[in-house]
Amino acid sequence: MALSVPAIMKTTAARLSALYLLLFALCAVLLVFYMTSLSARMLTAQTQETINDEVLGLARAYQRGGLPVLVRVVENRSRQPGANLYLIADANGQILTGNVQSLEPGVIDTEGWTTEPFSYKRFGEGELDRLRSGTSDQTTAPATGDNAARQSEGEQGHNAIALVLRLPNQMIMLVGRDLGEPERFRAVIRRALTLALGMMGLGGLLIWFFVGRAALKRIDSVSEASRRIMGGDLSGRLPVTGAGDEFDRLSENLNSMLARIATLNEGLKQVSDNIAHDLKTPLTRLRNRAEATLSGKHKPADYRQALEGTIAESDQLIKTFNAILMISRLEAGYSSEHTNRVDLAAAVRDVAELYEPVAEEAGVSLQAEVNGAFLVDGNRELIGQALSNIVDNAIKYSTDSTSKPAVRVTLERTHGEIRLCVADNGQGIPDDADRARATERFVRLEKSRSQPGSGLGLSLAKAVMTFHYGQLDLLPGNPGLSVVMSFPAREDH
């Protein structure tokens, strides 16, 4: 997978990862700042508490023996290793005792806690600094609030916070604590956090690289397979690993979609084959008739007759063509917003009434025995067309009956179904295979070839039943044939 950087960024996974990484980094930086500032505040509070304790002790010493005792205690404590800062100065700010050699000016002028860390120098540090910097003035140079100056001083000396008190004799006492330790602590925390976050980020990148790459590989294999299918290999299917994950589910769904498309495609191919086969014959006939009329001399009446025949033949072609189209649309699950409540009993009465004169003329008794209402969800027009095709057939094929030809239309409700049965007493279709084939497109069983018709009547009826979520069955009658249209009954019945 040699993907260049822009190509990588084109994948959703990479873009999402980059976004997450950015958010994560932002959060991490905020966290570091929050943690360090929190710890700094905690450390300052702790320092102040220590100083308070210290001052309390010194106050007790002062109460016990006045200034001399205080000075002695201060000197004692000053000499201890890692001692706090102590300073006692006279009212003018002249340092009398303590372990502080010099201070930022102004620090001891106001009583109470110093508002900001100040820089100072302990005894014994001066020479070293002077050697290092080459100037003694800088250590005591007035820091005029200039940040840079104070920082440079802080680097040479130390930073501290302190409590400044005025003794009853107007002398000034300062007790402070060096900030070096808390600062170091803060730096350690910051470093640790930064390191940890950096490692987490790196880990995230690695995880993305391996996990994301696996996902990309799956997607690539799916695209590869779909390219093959688009290339014409319609039998191809997307890979399913069997892991049952979302990729497998996606592939399975796409595969069943492909299967459905293949079925429809097959149906379409069959329709076009049938159209080609069954329209070619009449079209050829049409063409031959026109050609024959044109060649040779004929009387005007012959031309007229030929043209009339041509029109009649083309009308039949159009009918056939329309029927094929309709069947295909119905089978393709054409959805109609004009499906509504249809009373099958009314449909039966209508069609029976429509065909009654035809039946009478053919010497067939057409009986429709329907009582009450049989409601289904459907399209009245389509049901009427299907039923009239079936009744039409029944009348045609009952004429070869051995007894008095009769067609009976009945309606009955059985568990969850409404069965509309059209039964004739003709010869029927004795052969089971023939009966099964009779609803296929253009199938005209041997004995029906003499009858007019396109061979699409029952196919259309079957497609109409499919459209209504029902089915069409051809059952052997006794004698004759029973065509049964089964509709799912409406829920409210």
Partner 1 sequence: MQMPATQPSSEIAYNGPMKILVIEDDREAADYLQKAFTEAGHTAHVAGDGETGFALADAGDYDVMVIDRMMPRRDGLSVIAGLRSRGNTTPVLILSALGEVDDRVTGLRAGGDDYLTKPYAFSELLARVEVLNRRASAKEAETVYRVGDLELDRLSHSVRRAAREITLQPREFRLLEYLMRHAGQVVTRTMLLENVWDYHFDPQTNVIDVHVSRLRGKIEKGFDKPILHTVRGAGYMLKGG
**Applying CB under 8 A, does 337 fall inside the site for partner 1?**
yes
Residues between 86 and 105 with contacts to partner 1, criterion CB under 8 A: none
**Applying CB under 8 A, does 455 fall inside the site for partner 1?**
no
**Applying CB under 8 A, does 353 fall inside the site for partner 1?**
yes
**Applying CB under 8 A, does 358 fall inside the site for partner 1?**
yes
Residue 124: closest CA among 163, 157, 172: 157
Nearer to partner 1 by Cβ, of 222 and 346: the residue is 346
**Applying CB under 8 A, does 346 fall inside the site for partner 1?**
no
Nearer to partner 1 by Cβ, of 258 and 347: the residue is 347
> Looking up tokens 């249209």, which residue turns up?
485
**Applying CB under 8 A, does 329 fall inside the site for partner 1?**
yes
**What type of residue sits at position 264?**
L
> From CA 85, how far away is CA 75, in angstroms rounded?
11
Residue of 65, 106, 357, 363 interacting with partner 1 (CB under 8 A):
357
**Applying CB under 8 A, does 336 fall inside the site for partner 1?**
yes
**What type of residue sits at position 55?**
V
Question: Site mask, partner 1, residues 375-394, x = CB under 8 A?
Answer: ----x-xx-xx--xx--x--
Give the Å distances, CA to CA, from 268 to 223, 261, 265, 361. Answer: 27, 10, 5, 40
Q: How far is the CB of 224 from partner 1 (least distance, A)?
A: 39
Residue 225: closest CA among 251, 257, 188: 251
Nearer to partner 1 by Cβ, of 139 and 389: the residue is 389
**What type of residue sits at position 321?**
F
CA 86 to the chain's CA centroid: 69
Nearer to partner 1 by Cβ, of 176 and 457: the residue is 457
* Cβ atoms of 149 and 141 closer than 8 Å: yes
Nearer to partner 1 by Cβ, of 108 and 364: the residue is 364
Q: How far is the CB of 445 from partner 1 (least distance, A)?
A: 16
**Residue 482, helix vs strand vs coil:** strand
Interface segment toward partner 1; rule CB under 8 A; list 92-100, 195-203, 215-223, 331-339: 331-339
Nearer to partner 1 by Cβ, of 98 and 455: the residue is 455
**Residue 35, helix vs strand vs coil:** helix
In sequence order, which ranges of 172-212 are alpha helices (DSSP H)? Answer: 180-207
**Applying CB under 8 A, does 325 fall inside the site for partner 1?**
yes
Q: Enumerate residues 6+ apart whose C-beta is below 8 A from 409.
A: 348, 351, 352, 366, 367, 368, 369, 370, 391, 420, 421, 422, 423
Residues between 253 and 312 with contacts to partner 1, criterion CB under 8 A: 308, 311
* Cβ atoms of 18 and 10 closer than 8 Å: no
Q: Which helix (H) or strand (E) holds 131?
A: helix 126-133
**What type of residue sits at position 298?**
H
Nearer to partner 1 by Cβ, of 70 and 391: the residue is 391
Nearer to partner 1 by Cβ, of 221 and 316: the residue is 316
Q: What is the contact surface with partner 1 in residues (CB under 8 A)?
A: 308, 311, 314-315, 318-319, 322, 325-326, 329, 334, 336-338, 350, 353-355, 357-358, 361, 379, 381-382, 384-385, 388-389, 392, 452-453, 457
